[in-house]
Every structure is written in structure tokens, then in C-alpha cells.
Structure 1
Amino acid sequence: MATVQIRLKKANKVYREGDMLKGVVAITSKGDLQHQGITLFVEGSVSLQLSAKSVGLFEAFYNSLKPIQLLDSSLELVKPGKIPGGTEIPFEFPLKPKQGKSLYETYHGVFVNIQYLVRCEVRRSLLAKDLVKQQEFIVQYKDPSLSQGLERKVVEFRVSPESLDNVKERESVPRFLVTGHLDSASCVITEPLTGELIVEHSAIPIKSIELQLIRVETCGCAEGYAKDATEIQNIQIAEGDVCRGLPIPIHMIFPRLFTCPTLATNNFKVEFEVNTVIVLQDDHLITENFPIKLTRF
């Protein structure tokens, strides 16, 4: 029984455009291994898909939704022949995107997925199965220009029945007033989102106060776009009927891989929003939405 493993030199597997991807391919077998060549492939792509509600809206979508290749290279490590069991083959590979492309940050979304893989194939004779192993590595932005011009302005909010949108019968909404602020709507992805919220008064007792992180993914082309918002995480910042006039801290850490710096291209966008959600005892939901911009230094 023969196996192949890929071990990257960097334990955290985080790389940037222009870095050298270094590591070893370790091949284990009881005896000598006869093979038809050992090849390493380094691939990076953006996979796009439509939500069920958008399928069929635009025929042009199907052409624009083909995977976008950012990185596609191969390297022959060993020519056909025989190698002893326990062999380790070192490799190094420059991370250079295809001409006219850039390496976007690794991002695992619902309708947009940006992923980078290193794959090793040990080709064998017709009677033996090829050995294939792949390993994901993470790409982060190197250019700090994305954070230039980052304006950290406090975002004040004041939520009351009069400020709510899409409410048909405002008279039926319980009387309440919630104030507060976000320290900034322009956020560094490695730092938490912070601020505070104050319940000034509420006619109905409060059950819970929550903070939602939302991703807004847009796929499409000039003929049209499909835009979908999905929840990444929901954290409870208060439980029960909180004291009136007491500042409640807002603190949310952005999860790795499920967020990335805000990104806009011709074929897709990845944007983010935060919702503060106050759940009343009668299950009324009071929601305030804040578009935010993520960046990385």
C-alpha cells in the first residue's frame, strides 16, 4: 500500500502573491515504487453559483458563472521510473497569477468561493491506481494600499418605531428607543467590530439582543446580477430585560475564511453588513442594518 502526503513549510499555510510555496511531497510504500511520473499542480480559482431563486432569470449568467482561474501551473517533480519507499521530494513554487489576473484572498462563501490548492499526482501503470493528494493553502493580501484612506468614523444610530422601514402599521409597533454607535463602519479584518448599544426605554420587556454578521454575495455580468445575503454568524450580546440606560458593549470578531476584505470585480462582489437585532418578549424583532467595509493592513 503506497500513500502520498504534501507538507508545506509554513505551519499556518498562509501565503501572499509573489511568495514561494515551499514544502515536500512524502511518498510511503513498503518497497520501491514504480511510477509513470510525479507532477505537482498549483491551482487557484473563483467558483460562482446562483441561488435557487436566481436560476433561469438570465441565460447570460451561465457563461459568466464558469470558474475564474487565477492560478494554474504544474511542475514535474520526478520523471517516470522507480523510487524507494519513504522518499521525500522537496518543491518550491512562485505564487504568480495568470496574466491579467490577481490573487484574491481565500474566501469560503455560499455563492462565491475563492480557493487555492496544491495537488500531487503519482501516475502509475494501468494495473495500479494513481496516487493523488491535495492540500489547501491560504492566500492573504500583501498590498497595504487596500487600507489606505481607511476612515474610522463613529457611526451613531437611533432606532425607534418612526425610524423603521417596511412597517405598514406603525401604530401596532411597541414604543421603544434604542441608541448607540459603532466605533467605525470601516474595519480591519484582524480587529474586532466594536461599539455600544443603549436601550433608553421599551414598552414591552426585552427577550434578547443579538449581533448578526451578514455576507452579501453578488454574481453576474452586464446583462444582470443576482444578489444574495446570508448569515455568517449570530452572537448574543444581552439576554433578558436589560437595564434601561445601561451601555451594552458591541464586540464581534470576524471569522477566518468566511470573511475577506470587501471585494468588487466585473463578475462578482463580496460585501458585508452587520445587523443589531432586539427580540421583544412578544417576539417583535427590531433590526438596524449597517453596511461595513472590511480591509487588511
Structure 2
Amino acid sequence: MSLFFKVPLDIEVRLDGEDSRETVEVKSAKGRKEKLPVYKDGETVKGQVSVRLKDNKRVEHLGIKVQLLGSIETKVDGIKNDEFLSMAHELASPGDLRHPETYHFEFRNVEKQYESYRGKNVRLRYYIKVTLGRKSADVIRERELWVFQKNQLPLGATKPDASIKMDVGIEDCLHIEFEYSRNRFSLKDVIVGRIYFLLVRLKIKHMELSLIRRESCGAPPNQVNDSETLVRFEIMDGAPVRGETIPIRLFLGGFDLTPTYRDVNKKFSTRTFLSLVLIDEDARRYFKQSEIFLYRE
């Protein structure tokens, strides 16, 4: 939000039905939590803009407009802002404001082709922007929306009944097989699998299972990749024996996950990996990663 408080007026944006609308809690750039109203693809966005004068002072303006914008902000080689959605309505022609005014706006059946996202180097956002033109400096007020895309399976996902196997091995020392039932999951799904020890000649101290989100931003050779461990937990403590099996059940619903995104507007992608890590008594680490595909039901 941007508002020049030296100007003797306040601007407020209210959305129709916002008191009863579903909201989502997200972290701002400063780490604070904020609640944003949730909208769907194709849904109309409408509401009111209220302009209130301070101290009953007359305000001259160059016009008032409201916009519905969708943009992708990236931090590669400086902050860049690319708009993929731009709609606008004029609320008032140039003139004077002598008393409080309320203006209604409506953007009908808006196509919202991407899902809102906040990552380390990327922010995809939808927002209402009100601009009151001034000769000195415009007065601007923004109101952010949050968009979910439901029932969209990620590109490249294999059949949901295809089991996935990972092998962790060192010749003549270690051979572990990690199997889970499929590689495509909803954000509230359960990952079910097992770890089977075929050969153990190392002194394994413990084993961890992690979910890692990898964000890719920009295009080669200037592409920036960042990895974030979303959850890590210990699944074994102590030395296993040959033939031992450890069952795995990982409930995804309690974690801050995002769907798999593939080359969104040719700006960024996100991928999620299941990582198996073994640590021996000498603190040496052996690991294997496999990508899983996440989607929102």
C-alpha cells in the first residue's frame, strides 16, 4: 500500500461480501501475517472506493481511476515488475472534492490464469489499485487479493498409481530401497511408503526425511535457484539390520506447501522434492532426492 499522508484525504477500498468471504493468511515481505480475501478464476471482483476529506479541505484532482492488476515481481538483477493482467475504470473526471465520495466499481468474470504466490525471489500478486491524480504527486491506495487455482494437475505428472522407487547405495557397503505409492499428491494428501534395508555394512546413526521446495526464477544463464526445507523429521535412530523395513506416513495437510508450478508466464517455476538422508557415526551424509508433483484440489 502507498498513501501520501500529507494530502488531506483518505482512500479506502472495500470489496463486496468481504466479511463473509474466505480468507488466507500469508506473510508480508516484512514477515508480518496478513489476511487476504480469496478469489477464483473467472470470478467477478467488485466493491467500493471511499474518499474522505480531512478537516473539510477542498482537494483538487486530475481524475480518479481504479485498476485490477496482476503482476509478477522478480528479484533477479534488481526488482522487475511484469504485468500480465490490467483492467481499469474511470471513477471521476478531473475536478474538486468538497465532501466525502463513494464510487462503485466492478470487473466482471475476470480471468485469473495464475495462482497467487510469495516466494524468496518471486511474488505473483493480484490487487486493486486506486489512483487519485494530483499535480504534485498522485495519491495511491492498493488492496491485494489472493487467487487459488483448484483442480489443476501439474504438467509432467505421471499416472497417480505409478509407484516410485529410490535407491541409496555404496558398493559392498550399503543398499537401501525407498518406495512410495505414487508421485502425485494433493496439498492435503498423505505420502505412504516404506524403506527397505537390503545391505547394511555401515554404522548408520540416524535417518531423516525432508520435503524441499526449489524455486527457479529467470532464464539461463542468469537463472536464480533457491531451495527451502519445508519440513524435516527423523524416521530412524540407531543402526538398522539387513532385511529391516520402516513404514512411512507423511501427512501433508499441516505444512506450508504450494502446488508445482511450471514456467509461470516464462518467469518462474517451483518444484517439490522428497529427500532421504542417512548419517553415519562419522557424520558422513548419504542422500537421494526424488521430485513429487503437488496440486490443489
Q: TM-score, normalised by structure 2?
A: 0.70
| Larger CA deviation: 71-80 vs 238-247 | 238-247
Shift of 1:218: 5.1
Q: State the match for 2:12 in structure 1.
A: 5
Q: Deviations over 1:155-176 (max 9, x none)?
A: 13332224xxxxxxxx8xxx44
Q: How many aligned positions are there?
A: 263
Looking at structure 2, the residues matched to 242 and 250 of structure 1 have their Cα atoms a distance apart, in angstroms, of: 22
Structure 2: gaps (5+ residues): 1-7, 24-36
Structure showing the higher strand proportion among its residues? 2
Match of 1:157 among 166, 189, 192: 166
Looking at structure 2, the residues matched to 217 and 148 of structure 1 have their Cα atoms a distance apart, in angstroms, of: 17
**Residues 1:25 and 1:176: Cα distance change in structure 2 (over 3 Å):** farther
Conservation of the 8 A alpha-carbon contact between 1:6 and 1:25: yes
Q: Secondary structure at the match of 2:246?
A: coil
**Residues 1:137 and 1:42: Cα distance change in structure 2 (over 3 Å):** same
Q: State the match for 1:182 in structure 2.
A: 180
Q: Secondary structure at the match of 2:245?
A: coil
Conservation of the 8 A alpha-carbon contact between 1:34 and 1:83: yes
Q: State the match for 1:213 in structure 2.
A: 212
**Residues 1:146 and 1:35: Cα distance change in structure 2 (over 3 Å):** farther
Looking at structure 1, the residues matched to 80 and 207 of structure 2 have their Cα atoms a distance apart, in angstroms, of: 43
Q: State the match for 2:289 in structure 1.
A: 289
Q: State the match for 2:70 in structure 1.
A: 44
**Residues 1:31 and 1:225: Cα distance change in structure 2 (over 3 Å):** closer
After superposition, the CA RMSD in angstroms is 3.7
Conservation of the 8 A alpha-carbon contact between 1:198 and 1:245: yes
Shift of 1:211: 0.6
Q: State the match for 2:83 in structure 1.
A: 69
Q: State the match for 1:273 in structure 2.
A: 272
What pairs with 1:195-210 in structure 2 (closer than 5 Å)?
195-198=192-195, 200=197, 201=200, 203-210=202-209
Shift of 1:7: 2.8
Looking at structure 2, the residues matched to 194 and 227 of structure 1 have their Cα atoms a distance apart, in angstroms, of: 29
Q: State the match for 1:15 in structure 2.
A: 39
Q: State the match for 1:165 in structure 2.
A: none
**Residues 1:285 and 1:29: Cα distance change in structure 2 (over 3 Å):** farther
Looking at structure 2, the residues matched to 147 and 250 of structure 1 have their Cα atoms a distance apart, in angstroms, of: 23
**Residues 1:30 and 1:229: Cα distance change in structure 2 (over 3 Å):** closer
Looking at structure 1, the residues matched to 91 and 224 of structure 2 have their Cα atoms a distance apart, in angstroms, of: 43
Conservation of the 8 A alpha-carbon contact between 2:66 and 2:91: yes
Q: State the match for 2:97 in structure 1.
A: 82
What pairs with 1:120-269 in structure 2 (closer than 5 Å)?
120-124=130-134, 126=136, 130-141=138-149, 144=152, 151-152=159-160, 153-162=162-171, 175-188=173-186, 190-192=187-189, 194-198=191-195, 200=197, 201=200, 203-217=202-216, 219-220=218-219, 226=223, 228-238=225-235, 240-241=237-238, 245-253=245-253, 259-264=258-263, 267-269=266-268
Q: State the match for 1:109 in structure 2.
A: 119
Shift of 1:71: 0.6
Q: Secondary structure at the match of 1:286?
A: strand
Structure 1: gaps (5+ residues): 56-61, 163-170
Q: Partner letter of residue 84 of structure 1?
A: H
Shift of 1:194: 0.8
Q: State the match for 1:94 in structure 2.
A: 108
Shift of 1:120: 1.6
Q: TM-score, normalised by structure 1?
A: 0.70
Q: Deviations over 1:42-92 (max 9, x none)?
A: 211223454xxxx7xxxxxx9xx964321112222233332534x543322
Conservation of the 8 A alpha-carbon contact between 2:179 and 2:195: no
Identity %: 17
